[in-house]
Structure 1
Amino acid sequence: MKIYTKTGDQGITGLLGSGRVPKDDLRIEAYGTIDELNAVLGQVRADGLDPASNELAALLQDELFVLGSALADPDPAGRFHNAIADEHVRRLETAIDAIDAELAPLRVFILPGGSRAAAGLHLARTVCRRAERVVVSLARTPGASVPSAVLIYLNRLSDLLFVMARVVNQRAGVADIPWKGI
């Protein structure tokens, strides 16, 4: 089987189940942005993370693949549509709380950066926020079905990526960069 199928040469692509849509369809944009987020996390992992952060990032990559599948499945009764559930959100919240307990309280806004890994996690956070905006747009589209857990997951994930960036800096002995304000 060849990697190219030529089925998308006219700007149309398939969804899970049945149906084909233009490649600029909001659903495609949504799971494409999730794919981009997953790639950014892969880059951060390749650049090097401490073992605990790397393990968590690997789990997040797996879950993002599941989340992308949920978005690619427009049928509310479809096999993947409800693959992201409340338990995934709770796992993110538990991770946020555990990491936040390691950190000093944040008293100023910080700029993305510090160590290379933290900067990459901040980039992942911004891609996650964009993915969340696209998924919100999709969810507001008449007839589009987006599980509520997907929206909540993305909201929590951006928070997790923020605290991960901070803890990665801390574990590397690199200070966060405070915003000097105006």
Structure 2
Amino acid sequence: MLYTGKGDGGTTTAFGCNQQRISKSSELPKALGALDELNAYLGLVKMRSAAEPRIKEAVRDAQDTLFIIQAEVAGADKRVGESAVEGIEKIVNDIEKEIPPLKGFSIAGGTELSALLDVARTLARRAERRVIAVKEMNLRDVTPATLAYLNRLSSLLFALARLANHLAGVAEETPRY
């Protein structure tokens, strides 16, 4: 069954909450929702990146890791390893060798794929802030590797957005201050 009706009053349960009902507006559901929103949006990005296998693979890998993070934040015995953080760093470093150096702020867009990746980057930042709030409120013991991964994920998405423009031969735009 896809619905129970138990949440109609604005409460939910999360793994590790001893099945206690908690408000859907509390920090834990907000963090889990932000992670879910990011993962769902990355599904769209993945589908739109079919012509760029490296981007598609990096996005798919991020989706897998986000499921582990969602499980950890929900209270399951799942953890992100340092190797996931190192993997993102390697991809970003490789991309930086391939694209022109950044000379300042860039305006989102260029190609559709780049714009989608920029939106995903902002969703990643929001998810990171929500998970940090869960940790700061001592609702969950979020590991340093998970926090580092979420921080690097937005960097990865920014690098992928720049790569998408570069591969399409689209120059980045800078703000006109």
2-structure distance, mates of 1:94, 1:103:
15
1:19 Cα deviation (Å)?
A: 3.1
Q: Which moved more, 1:87-96 or 1:141-150?
A: 141-150
Aligned to 1:9: 8
* 8 Å CA contact 2:110, 2:172 repeated in 1: yes
Aligned pair in 2 of structure 1 residues 48, 123: CA closer, same or farther (>3 Å)? Answer: same
- The 5-angstrom pairing of residues 12-27 of structure 1 reads 12-17=11-16, 18-20=18-20, 21-27=22-28
Show CA shifts across 1:47-67 (max 9, x none): 234111111111111111111
* 8 Å CA contact 2:28, 2:139 repeated in 1: no
Unaligned runs of 5+ in 1: none
1-structure distance, mates of 2:55, 2:110:
16
Aligned to 1:59: 61
Q: Which of 84, 87, 91 is the equivalent residue of 1:88?
A: 84
Matched letter for residue 26 of structure 1? E
1-structure distance, mates of 2:168, 2:122:
22
Unaligned runs of 5+ in 2: none
SS in 1 for 2:32: helix
1-structure distance, mates of 2:139, 2:69:
19
2-structure distance, mates of 1:162, 1:88:
17
Q: Which moved more, 1:54-63 or 1:4-13?
A: 4-13
Per the normalisation by structure 1, the TM-score is 0.89
Aligned to 2:36: 35
Number of aligned residues:
174
Aligned to 1:79: 77
Per the normalisation by structure 2, the TM-score is 0.92
Equivalent pairs: percent with the same residue?
37
Q: Which of 95, 108, 117 is the equivalent residue of 1:121?
A: 117
1:148 Cα deviation (Å)?
A: 1.8
Aligned to 2:135: 139
1:143 Cα deviation (Å)?
A: 5.0
2-structure distance, mates of 1:79, 1:178:
44
* 8 Å CA contact 2:106, 2:173 repeated in 1: yes
Matched letter for residue 12 of structure 2? T
* 8 Å CA contact 2:82, 2:145 repeated in 1: yes
1-structure distance, mates of 2:145, 2:30:
19
1:177 Cα deviation (Å)?
A: 1.7
Show CA shifts across 1:33-53 (max 9, x none): 011111111111222341111
Aligned to 2:46: 45
2-structure distance, mates of 1:79, 1:52:
30
SS in 1 for 2:59: helix
1:124 Cα deviation (Å)?
A: 0.4
